[in-house]
Structure 1
Amino acid sequence: MLPFRRFIIFRENRKEQIRINRVEMRLLRDTSNPFNLTNERFTDLFRLTKDLVYYLAEELNIHLHQPQRSTAIHPVSAILATLAFYATGTYQRPLGENYFPGVIGAIDGTDVLIERPKQEEHNYINRKGLHSMNVQFICDYDLNILSVNARYAGSSHDSFIWRNSAIQVELQGCFANGDRHSWLLGDSGYPQQP
């Protein structure tokens, strides 16, 4: 299957996954109550059952400050944030998994060294002074390669390759047709675009 077609199929499957996550997040967002999540999702996020978290909140209640302002963090929310951190060892992973719906992949370029070409040698010299091709990869969260673009010489910048890629044209078309929930993440070598 062509990489571009595989990318389109992945994006369609991702849309369905986003729709399902959006329903769960709407429950969380609308009521600000993680206890409205399914038991399975709750346990995945916090590594404890709802009953165990209720028990823990009761036990810790005397040690926690009660909120005085309406904008204060509720003690149970503080406990859940702590549990999420203990479950993963990071603040970033839960944030990425739960609050960045729509990320369809990550993009970056890498230099692949080649032998010195006989024609137009100067185009193949990268920023390190070596002969290479700048190969652009797009992969999903599970490191499955969705797209490879190996048409450009080592002197080409990542943003130039992106501007001339079929994937960029496809995503611009999706945005023009109302898709505001598909995101491709890249480093500072890529422009921020709709």
Structure 2
Amino acid sequence: MLPVNILLARQHRRQRLRNFNIERIYLRNTYDPFNLDNLEFQRRFRTKDICSQFIDDLMPHMSNSPKINIIDPRTRILVALSFYATGSYQRLIGESHNISISQQSVSNCIRDISSLITEHLADRYVKFPTTNEERNVIKLAFHQKYNFPGVIGAVDCTHIRILHPVEEEHNFVNRKGYHSMNVQVICDSNLRILAVNPKHAGSTHDAYIWRTSAIREEVEIQYRLGNRSCWLLGDSGYPLQPWLMTPIVNALPNTPEGRYTQAHCSARNCTERCFGVLKQRFRCLSGDRTLRYKPEVVGQIISSCATLHNICILHNLNVDLIDEVNDQLQVVRPPDVVPNDLHQEGDRVRERIIRRYFH
């Protein structure tokens, strides 16, 4: 049997934790984060209007409980939004005076809300164009901004730093030597995300992610059905295909090929600006943060941030202090690829674009 002093110490500790939890529940239930001024609310959660709509969208998919100590759905959503926006440590988020929950509860909230967003809201706000009307709107915007015809999106990948996973750890080490997820994003000229693929480890090559993606299958099907005036833009790390235009390596300035490549690179750089805005808006994805979750959960967090990014664009929410992306000509030299029929067909399409628009 334990000594009396140890038993009394344990009893005192349990009572102290019980009183602390009661006080925390009282603080959480009597404080409304929406009473914060707009600037402070935006720093913690982003704008009130967007948060209110987002809560209304997600609440029907959340189960509630009659237990007195359960965390109410709105607080759970705000916890996740605070993490997305700041990328702060879970304990610091939980100890915030307007949240007041434990570190473990913060972790559970982030996982649960990310899963709900991915399952119920992502497809509503992150949509690849499937109709001629949708494609024409995107093509017109690209043509007006960059004088490049037929573009329905630009594709590129970005790395999101993660904690080294337990399983297949070596697959997540990218070319820069740290653990990451390699995330493929397709966006339009307004930086709206049209598709996001957050399922691949950091060592996976961009071209492989593209080759196995559902979007590649979609644009190829449309091409085979006779839609020959739509294509995506990718850098030279991607294969040239009739539905995916790449720049011309070593194209001379003031030539048709040079003008094509310059316009191509300027239009494709919208993906770099999209990455900058996304990571500035949701600091949990920025390069100086590390997502300490399993890769599957990291993928849901990334998908959730992409969904919220599009909601912000829908409401014309600007992000200040975004570093300007260098729009100068940047061409990545691709690995040697043996030409095939698809590459040759893509080359003919690219030559036709150059002759028609850049001579």
What TM-score, normalized by structure 1, do the two folds share?
A: 0.55
Label 1:11 to 1:110 Cα distance change in 2 as closer, same or farther (>3 A): farther
Letter in 1 for 2:146: G
Write 1 or 2 for the structure with the bigger share of strand. Answer: 1
Runs of 4+ in structure 1 deviating by more than 3 angstroms, as ranges, are: 9-12
Letter in 2 for 1:188: S
The 5 A counterparts of 1:61-72 are none
**Structure 1 position 13, deviation (Å):** 1.6
Gapped runs of 5+ residues in structure 2? 1-121, 243-359
**Structure 1 position 189, deviation (Å):** 1.5
Label 1:11 to 1:165 Cα distance change in 2 as closer, same or farther (>3 A): farther
Letter in 2 for 1:96: Y
Aligned position for 1:112: 160
Tell me if 1:7 matches 2:128: yes
Give the whole-Å Cα distance in 1 for the aligned partners of 2:194 and 2:131.
Answer: 8
Aligned position for 1:170: 218
1:190 to 238, 243, 248: 238
Gapped runs of 5+ residues in structure 1? 22-92
Letter in 2 for 1:2: D
**Structure 1 position 4, deviation (Å):** 9.6
Give the whole-Å Cα distance in 2 for the aligned partners of 1:172 and 1:130.
Answer: 34
Label 1:133 to 1:10 Cα distance change in 2 as closer, same or farther (>3 A): farther
Label 1:106 to 1:149 Cα distance change in 2 as closer, same or farther (>3 A): same
Deviations 1:131-188, CA, capped at 9 Å, x for gaps = 0000000000110011110000000000000000000000000110111111100111
| Equivalent pairs, count | 119
Tell me if 1:96 matches 2:153: no
The 5 A counterparts of 1:34-183 are 96-97=146-147, 100-183=148-231
- Look up the SS of the partner of 1:118 in the other structure: coil
Alignment RMSD, CA only?
A: 2.5
- Look up the SS of the partner of 1:2 in the other structure: helix
Give the whole-Å Cα distance in 2 for the aligned partners of 1:108 and 1:186.
Answer: 6
Give the whole-Å Cα distance in 2 for the aligned partners of 1:189 and 1:161.
Answer: 11
Give the whole-Å Cα distance in 2 for the aligned partners of 1:95 and 1:164.
Answer: 30
What TM-score, normalized by structure 2, do the two folds share?
A: 0.31
Q: Is the 8 A contact 1:3 1:146 kept in 2?
A: no
- Look up the SS of the partner of 1:143 in the other structure: coil
Give the whole-Å Cα distance in 2 for the aligned partners of 1:113 and 1:5.
Answer: 23
Deviations 1:45-101, CA, capped at 9 Å, x for gaps = xxxxxxxxxxxxxxxxxxxxxxxxxxxxxxxxxxxxxxxxxxxxxxxx97833xx22
- Look up the SS of the partner of 1:167 in the other structure: helix
Q: Is the 8 A contact 1:4 1:147 kept in 2?
A: no
Letter in 1 for 2:200: Y
Q: Is the 8 A contact 2:207 2:237 kept in 1?
A: yes
**Structure 1 position 6, deviation (Å):** 1.4
Write 1 or 2 for the structure with the bigger share of helix. Answer: 2
Aligned position for 1:55: none
Letter in 2 for 1:170: E
Aligned position for 2:25: none
Label 1:5 to 1:150 Cα distance change in 2 as closer, same or farther (>3 A): closer
Label 1:134 to 1:107 Cα distance change in 2 as closer, same or farther (>3 A): same
Give the whole-Å Cα distance in 2 for the aligned partners of 1:146 and 1:115.
Answer: 28
Q: Is the 8 A contact 2:126 2:193 kept in 1?
A: no
Letter in 1 for 2:128: F
Give the whole-Å Cα distance in 2 for the aligned partners of 1:162 and 1:124.
Answer: 18
Label 1:16 to 1:147 Cα distance change in 2 as closer, same or farther (>3 A): closer
Q: Which has the higher Rg, Structure 1 or Structure 2?
A: 2
Letter in 2 for 1:122: H
Q: Quote the sequence identity (%).
A: 51
- Look up the SS of the partner of 2:233 in the other structure: strand
Q: Is the 8 A contact 2:138 2:153 kept in 1?
A: no
